[in-house]
Amino acid sequence: MTDYRALTRNRDFTALWVGQTVSELGSQVSMFVFPLVAYATTGSALHAAAAEALFLGGMAAALLPAGVLADRVDRRRLMRAASASGVVLYASLAVAGALGAMTLPHLFAVALLTGVAAGVFSPSEMAAVRAVVPREDLPTALSQNQARQHVAHLVGAPVGGLLYAAARWLPFAVDAASFALSWVLLGRIKADLSPPSYDGPRRGALADLRQGIGFLARHPFFRVLTAWAALSNLVVNALFFLAVLRLIQGGYPPVAIALVSTAGGVCGILGAVAAPWLIERLPTGRLTVVVAWSFVPLSVPMIFVNHPAVVAVAVSVGIFLNPAGNAGIQSYRISITPPELLGRTQSAAQFVSMSAMPLAPVVAGLTLAAWGGPAATATITVLCALVALVPTTSRAVRSVPRPAQWASAGGVGAVGEDAGSARLPSPDRTAA
C-alpha cells in the first residue's frame, strides 16, 4: 500500500481529487446557505427545509439511471457535464441575487437540479478512481476521499456563513467557481475513462439496471453490506439527531452544541489520515465488524449523562474509526467488481444506503417525544447493536483479509455464496 505522498505522484488521481475537494467544499457552502436564503425570502421553516430536501431528492432520483450511463458512456464526459451544469446553475443564482431578482422557485429549481448533477457525477467518479488508481493504492486513495469529505463538512458551514454575511449571492458565485475548477481539472485526466467495450446484443436501460441490482442481490457480501449500509445510516444518524435534540432540550448554548460537530469533524480528518495504516494492518472484514459495533459502547454514557462533552467524546471516537472502515471495505468492493458493472453496482448500493436516511430525524423525534431522553437513547443504542449483528454474523464479511491478500482471496470468481463485497455506510453526520 502506498502512502499519501506517493499518491500525489499520480497526476490523474490528483487532478480528480483536487477538483472534487474544491467542488465539494463549494457544495457544502451552498447546502449551508440554501435554507438561510429560503427562510430569509419567505420566513417559513418549511421552505428552509424544502431546499435541502430537494437537493437530496434530486440526487437520489438520479443515482440509478446515472449508474447505467456510467457503464455505457465515457465517464469523463459525464463528470464534466455534471460540473458544467453546476457552473451554470449556481452562476444563475449569483447573478439573480446580485440583481436583487432571486426567487424561491429559482432557488428550489437549482437545489433540485444540482442534486441531480451530484447523482450523475457519483457513479462515474468511483469508476474513474478504479481506472486511475492501481488496486494496491485504492485504500489510500479512498481514505483521501474520506478526508476530503470531512474537511468539506467541517469548513463548509463557517465559510458559507462568512460569505453569506458579506452578500447573499456570494456563496453561490464561489460555488460556481468551484465547479468551473473541477471542470478544468477533469479535462486534465489522461487515463482512458471510457467503459469496457461491449459487442453483445443491444440492451435496454432497464435490463442494464436489473443486471446491476441483480449482481448485488445474488452475492452474499454485496447483499449483506448493502442492507447494513441502509440500516446503519438510519440508526446511527438517529442517535446523533437524538443527542443534539437532547442537548437543545437541556438548554445548552448553540456554541457548545456546535463544538460537538466540530470535534467530530476534526476526528474524522484524523481518522482519514490514520486509515491507510489501520487498513494495512487489520483484516478488512474484522475492521468492518469493529466499526459496526463502535457506536454501541460509546452511546451508553449518553443514556445517563446529557452533556456536550460526553456527546463530543462519543461522536469523535466513533467517527475516528469510520474512515478506515469505509475506505477499506469500499476498496475491496471496487477491486473485485467487474469493471463493466461498476457504475450500476455503485449507484444501486448508494441509492439503497441513502434510502433510509430521511427517516433518521423522524425516529429521533418520535422516540424522544414518546419516552424521554434516557429511554430513547437506550432504545436506539439497542437498535445499533441489532444492526451491528448484520455484518458480524456474515462469514462473507468477516472473512475478507488484509489488502495484501485481496488478490489471492480471489476476484469476481470469489464472490459466491461465501464471499463478496459491499460498502460501509457513510452517514452525513459520520462520514460521507
Q: Is residue 199 part of a domain?
A: no
CA pair distance 250, 165, nearest whole angstrom? 29
- State the DSSP code for 194: P
CA pair distance 255, 240, nearest whole angstrom? 17
Q: Is residue 197 part of a domain?
A: no
Confidence at residue 201, expressed as pLDDT on a 0 to 100 scale: 65
Please tell me whether residues 175 and 211 are part of one structural domain.
Answer: no
Please tell me whether residues 165 and 294 are part of one structural domain.
Answer: no
Please tell me whether residues 177 and 233 are part of one structural domain.
Answer: no
Confidence at residue 175, expressed as pLDDT on a 0 to 100 scale: 94
Q: Which three cell numbers stand for residue 397?
A: 464479511
Please tell me whether residues 156 and 227 are part of one structural domain.
Answer: no
Q: By the 8 A CB rule, do 145 and 273 touch?
A: no
Point out the domain boundary residue: 161, 190, 219.
Answer: 190
Q: Is residue 195 part of a domain?
A: no
Q: Which three cell numbers stand for residue 65?
A: 439511471
Report how far apart, in Å, the C-alpha atoms of 92 and of each of 103, 107, 120, 157, 176 are.
Answer: 11, 10, 20, 22, 9
Closest CA to 385 of 289, 288, 296, 304: 296
Please tell me whether residues 183 and 236 are part of one structural domain.
Answer: no
Confidence at residue 200, expressed as pLDDT on a 0 to 100 scale: 63
CA pair distance 206, 236, nearest whole angstrom? 33
Residue 150 φ then ψ, to 5°: -65, -40
Q: Is residue 198 part of a domain?
A: no
Confidence at residue 425, expressed as pLDDT on a 0 to 100 scale: 36
pTM of structure: 0.78
Domain span including residue 108: 1-190
**R_g of the chain computed on alpha carbons:** 21
Please tell me whether residues 90 and 59 are part of one structural domain.
Answer: yes
Q: Is residue 138 part of a domain?
A: yes
Confidence at residue 420, expressed as pLDDT on a 0 to 100 scale: 32
Cα angle, residue 319 at apex, residues 259 and 364 outer, rounded to 5°: 75
CA pair distance 428, 152, nearest whole angstrom? 12
List, as one string, the DSSP characters of 243-285.
HHHHHHHTT--HHHHHHHHHHHHHHHHHHHHHHHHHHHHS-HH
Q: Which three cell numbers stand for residue 138?
A: 485504492
CA pair distance 313, 154, nearest whole angstrom? 17
Please tell me whether residues 163 and 298 are part of one structural domain.
Answer: no
Q: Which residues contact 373 (CB under 8 A, 6 or more apart)?
A: 242, 246, 249, 306
CA pair distance 124, 69, nearest whole angstrom? 8
Confidence at residue 309, expressed as pLDDT on a 0 to 100 scale: 93
Confidence at residue 382, expressed as pLDDT on a 0 to 100 scale: 96
Q: What is the pLDDT along the chain (432 residues), one digit of tens a residue?
A: 555 677 778 899 999 999 999 998 898 888 888 888 888 888 876 777 788 778 888 888 899 899 999 888 899 999 999 999 999 999 999 999 999 899 999 999 999 999 999 999 999 998 899 889 888 888 888 888 888 888 888 888 788 888 888 898 999 999 999 999 999 999 999 998 888 776 666 677 788 888 888 888 888 889 998 999 999 989 998 998 899 889 988 888 877 877 887 888 899 899 998 999 999 889 999 999 999 999 999 999 999 999 999 999 998 888 898 899 888 888 888 888 888 888 889 888 888 888 887 788 888 888 998 999 999 999 999 999 999 999 999 999 999 998 888 865 544 433 333 333 333 333 333 333
Domain of residue 316, CATH code: 1.20.1250.20
CA pair distance 92, 111, nearest whole angstrom? 12
